[in-house]
């Protein structure tokens, strides 16, 4: 396509590699004017069945690492007077799902991080966007469950990696603050949740996401059986 690419591997769970991966990228390709924070991990389990190390690891990779990467490259963008940072969050960051507590918490944190950055740097030519996909079919975390024989919930809708990529590009070109990517429009439900949270809490089980991840957790023996007694 007439452009140069370079692969610079790093373990973003090791914060000591943050500076190294940026420095090596700049050596290969020049100053970073576009950062897409897409790295992330996810697993389903009852909250009480998770380990402390597992909880902190998800926070480290999903929330702290993209914050540190942004902190590392932002001064250069501000000096050059151009740049854009895109964070890949999730619709799970807009509405919590059972058995995904740490994942939902980190993705919600990403959304608020972008809002804060846009507020602080609203007067400079550097942009920040967050893209929130729903279930991504064909690739990624959700597809792993389907490959293991799970059936997708019918109501929440889905999307594809190609559509997510197209929305990322649109967010950069148009400096969009927040983009949702899903085949079923969920903005009305999310808006309703702000004014009628109890009603939406009762409605949410109909979408099947909580049941889906409970089944996935049960298949791995990671469901808190004591909670089932209540």
* DSSP 3-state of 36: strand
Q: How many CB atoms lie within 10 A of CB 78?
A: 14
* DSSP 3-state of 180: strand
Angstrom distance (rounded) from CA 41 to CA 64: 13
**Which two three-digit tokens encode residue 39?**
């790295």
For the annotated catalytic residues, the residue numbers are 103
| Phi-psi group of 17: left, alpha or beta (phi > 0 → left; psi -120 to 50 → alpha; rest → beta) | alpha
DSSP 69-137: HHHHHHHHHHHHT--EEEEE--GGGTS--TT-HHHHHHHHHHHHHHHHHHHHTTTSS-EEEEEEE-EEE
DSSP 11-34: -TTSGGGHHHHHHHHHHHH-S--E
CB 159 within 8 A of CB 134: yes
């Amino acid at each position: 396509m007439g452009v140069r690419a370079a692969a610079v591997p790093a373990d973003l769970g090791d914060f000591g590699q943050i500076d190294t991966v940026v420095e090596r990228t700049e050596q290969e390709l020049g100053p970073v004017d576009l950062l897409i924070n897409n790295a992330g991990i996810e697993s389903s389990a009852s909250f009480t069945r998770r380990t402390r190390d597992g909880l902190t690891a998800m926070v480290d990779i999903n929330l702290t690492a993209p914050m540190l990467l942004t902190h590392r490259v932002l001064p250069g963008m501000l000096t050059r007077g151009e740049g854009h940072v895109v964070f890949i969050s999730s619709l799970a960051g807009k509405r919590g799902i059972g058995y995904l507590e740490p994942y939902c918490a980190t993705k919600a944190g990403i959304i608020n991080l972008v809002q804060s950055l846009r507020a602080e740097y609203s007067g400079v030519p550097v942009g920040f966007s967050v893209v929130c996909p729903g279930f991504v079919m064909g690739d990624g975390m959700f597809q792993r469950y389907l490959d293991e024989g799970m059936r997708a919930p019918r109501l929440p809708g889905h999307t594809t990696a190609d559509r997510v990529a197209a929305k990322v590009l649109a967010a950069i070109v148009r400096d969009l603050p927040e983009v949702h990517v899903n085949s079923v429009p969920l903005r009305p439900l999310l808006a309703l949740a702000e004014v009628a949270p109890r009603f939406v809490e009762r409605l949410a089980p109909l979408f099947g996401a909580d049941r889906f991840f409970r089944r996935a957790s049960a298949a791995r023996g990671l469901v808190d059986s004591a909670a089932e007694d209540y």
